[in-house]
Amino acid sequence: MRTGGLTTLLAVTITVAGCATSGPPPANGALIPVDQRQAITTLAGEDLLKGAPVSLDQFHGDALIINIWGAWCGPCRAEAPELVQAHAESGVDFLGIDVRDHDRGFAEDFARDRLAAYPSLYDPPGRALVNLGRYRNAQVPTTLVLDREHRVAAVFHGGVLAADILPRIREVTAE
The domain spanning residue 149 has which CATH number? 3.40.30.10
Does a structural domain hold residue 8?
no
Structurally, the chain folds into a number of domains equal to 1
Closest CA to 60 of 98, 97, 93: 93
Domain that holds residue 93: 31-174
Give, in degrees to the nearest 5, the angle at Cα 81 between 123 and 119.
Answer: 35
Distance CA 72, CA 74 (A): 7
Kindly state whether residue 23 falls inside one of the protein's structural domains. no
Is residue 170 one of the residues assigned to a domain?
A: yes
Per-position pLDDT tens, the chain of length 175? 455 554 433 333 333 333 334 455 668 899 999 999 999 989 999 999 999 999 999 998 889 999 999 999 999 999 999 999 999 999 999 999 999 999 999 999 999 998 778 999 999 998 888 888 888 888 899 999 999 999 999 999 999 999 999 999 999 999 9
DSSP 71: T
Integer Cα distance of 69 and 114 in angstroms:
12
Task: Determine, yes or no, domain membership for 17.
Answer: no
